[in-house]
Every structure is written in C-alpha cells, then in structure tokens.
Amino acid sequence: MAQKSYQFTSESVTEGHPDKICDQVSDAVLDFVMAEDPTGRVAIETLVTTGTCLVAGEMTTECYVPVDEVARGVIEEIGYTRAKYGFDAETVGVLTAIHSQSPDIAQGVNVGGAGDQGMMFGFACDDTEQYMPMPIHLAHRLAERLAHVRRTGELGYLRPDGKTQVTVRYEDERPVEVTKVLLAAQHKRGMNQDEIRAELIQFVVEPVIPPELRADGMEILVNRTGVFEIGGPQADTGVTGRKIIVDTYGGFARHGGGCFSGKDPTKVDRSGAYFARYVAKNVVAAGLATRCEIEVAYAIGDPDPFSVAVFCFGTEVIPEERIAQIIADNFNFAPLAMIEHLKLRRPIFRKTAAYGHFGRDDSDFTWERLDAVDMLREEAGL
C-alpha cells in the first residue's frame, strides 16, 4: 500500500501580539483573585487598541482587584514601554466594565455543577516528547525564541509583536521533516530586511529546528509584506480568546466552544479541557494508543458530564471501547473533582496565556503530569 503523505501547518504568536496581550491581562486579573480569594468567580475579557485597554466581564470576589495596576503591569512586562510604539504601559487608558456573576449561573456552580453548557477536547500524540503535534510545538518554540532574543538584546531591534508558522510533512501519520517556516517579526524603523532575515535564521530558526528535521531546501519566509514596523495594538485590535487554536493543538485536534483565558476553574471551558488533555496524555504515554482525543460535554449546573467520548484514530493497541471504559472507571470529570485533582485554585494562569496551554515543562501545569501511566497500563493488561 502506498504511503499517505501530507503537509500540516500550525501557527503561534509572541506575547506581544494584540490578542495575546488581552489573554495575559485577563489571566493576570484571574491570578490576582486566585491569590487572594481562591473560590472567587472570574470571567474577564480584555480588548486593546491604540492607547486603550478595556477590561470587562464578571467577577464575584471578597478581595479588591486593582485592575488598572494589573493591566499596566502586564503591558510593561511584555515590553510595551515607549509611547512611540503607539501603546505603552504608562500612557494607555485602562477602562473597566465589571459586574458580579449572574445569580442564575451561580446557583448551579455553588452546588458543584458546571458553569455553562458546552464541549471541550483534550488531545495527545507521540509526535514529540511533549506529546504534542510537531507543527504547533515548533511554532511555539520559535515564538518563544523571538521573544527571548528581543529581551536579551541579541536582536535589540525587535519589537514585542510577532508570529510564527511551521509546516511539517507527514508520512503514514508520522512527522518526517519541516518543509516551511514563516516568521513575522516587528522591528524598529529603517531596518534592512535582508539583515533581519539572515539574523532571524541564525538566532531563531537554527536553534529551534533540529538539522535532522530540516527538509532539503526548507523554505524560510520572513516579513512577507517587506516591512513590519507598525505592530501591536497600534496596528491591530486585540481581544481575549481569539487565539484558541494557538492555545491548544494548532488545528491538529478539535477545539471546543470556548477559550480559556480570564476564566476561573469552575468554568469547564478551562478545567474540562485541561483534564481531558491530562487523561489523553496519560493514555498515550501508557502506550494504549499513539493518538488520543477525548471530548467531554456538560450541561449548565450539572456536576456529571453530559457525555465523554474517546477517539484513538485506529492507533489503539486494545479496543477503543475498552480504553473508554478504563477512563470512565478511573477518572472523575465532575467540575469540583477536576479542580481538586489538578489543584487549579492557584494563581498559575498568567503564564499559560502565551506559548500554549499544553506541552510545557512547568510543575504548575498539573494537567501535564504523567502520574496515571502505571495505573492505565495495569488496567489495560500491558
């Protein structure tokens, strides 16, 4: 049988991308509440544009949250510190429009039910050591590297905004080589694009893309309009939750109906997706399948999942129905159980808001733990 060959592309963005500014502000507000009032309810959205940051949504908490200070702190830390960028921490106008959680929703959450209806997905595969699809993994690492060389001064002409894109060729569902890399890197005025391209290859692409993964003639494209001087909120309005595919699996797996940032863990959009990733990753690490996707769905106010489905795409080593039963017998998808198992009532969310919520080596990312591998192997008889 002929090998199936295809190319798959995923993108990432730097922390200075307008949408990612918003995700980080929203999660920084959440972290402030979690540090002071771990049972507080937060659903915060942020919008940024030239000279303006609007923070809006619902919040029910016993603590005072200095939203203006929190937002400015995030913007400054990202690197928007000069008025000439068209958006800076000192002069930006921070507006707020925040009210408490609806009592109609709260009455369901108060008894341990889901904060909304909806479906969430978790996914894992053995493309990489992080159990992430290779295209999104490499796109994130390139975006992180762009920010690193800017912050360290190695490429001091870079500005906070940036995007990456990676195309990987697969044969028989295995990643074999990187065929294309695309970088969009904001820079100071008057730069020579040939110089930028040469230095981005040297300082960003080569440290991230291993030589053995580079296809012969791997194409590297940089700043395709010819210049990227105007960036950030001056160039493009940002909104919380517009980079959900960047946040998850780069389009390689499905995404549910909601974003993550700005939502406390009673929102199953977040906790359900995190827990589904945790289970799927342990399934793959245990050798039950090389790809696993889990869908979980909820009805508002109900503590039990509306449904749980498991998909292994023909890569399972025991029947898929048996894997689903093992998951049902050993993992509790009730909202409070997921929150407790993953210890989600902590101020850990700001750092999830850039470079992906999954596949990162950080002890606070409890949904990345592989502590159920032995149990799953025993249950499966492996």
- How far is it, in rounded angstroms, from Cα 118 to Cα 294? 14
What 3-state DSSP class applies to 182? Answer: strand
Q: Which of 23, 27, 96, 93 is nearest to 55 (CA)?
A: 96
- How far is it, in rounded angstroms, from Cα 29 to Cα 68? 10
Name the band, by pLDDT with cuts 50, 70 and 90, for residue 257.
Answer: confident
Name the band, by pLDDT with cuts 50, 70 and 90, for residue 111.
Answer: low
Judge residue 217's burial from the number of C-beta atoms within 10 Å of its C-beta, 0-12 exposed, 13-18 middle, 19 or more buried: exposed
pTM of the model as a whole: 0.95
- How far is it, in rounded angstroms, from Cα 2 to Cα 301? 50
Q: Are 268 and 115 in contact (CB under 8 A)?
A: yes
- How far is it, in rounded angstroms, from Cα 30 to Cα 61? 11
Q: What is the pLDDT of residue 370?
A: 98
CA atoms within a 13 Å half-sphere pointing along the CA-CB vector of 206 = 7
pLDDT at 113 over 80: no
The amino acid at 311: F
Encode pLDDT of 297-331 as tens digits: 999 888 899 999 999 999 999 999 999 999 999 99
Arithmetic mean of pLDDT over the chain: 94
Which residues are CB-contacts of 357 (< 8 A; sequence separation ≥ 6)? 247, 248, 260, 273, 274, 277, 365
The secondary structure element, H or E, covering residue 145 is helix 134-152
Average pLDDT over residues 4-18: 97
Encode pLDDT of 158-206 as tens digits: 999 999 999 999 999 999 999 999 999 999 999 999 999 999 999 999 9
Average pLDDT over residues 147-166: 97
The amino acid at 312: C
Average pLDDT over residues 237-258: 95
pLDDT at 269 over 60: yes
Q: Are 305 and 298 in contact (CB under 8 A)?
A: yes
Q: Are 159 and 150 in contact (CB under 8 A)?
A: yes
DSSP calls for 4-60: PEEEEEEEEE-TTSHHHHHHHHHHHHHHHHHHH-TT-EEEEEEEEETTEEEEEEEEE
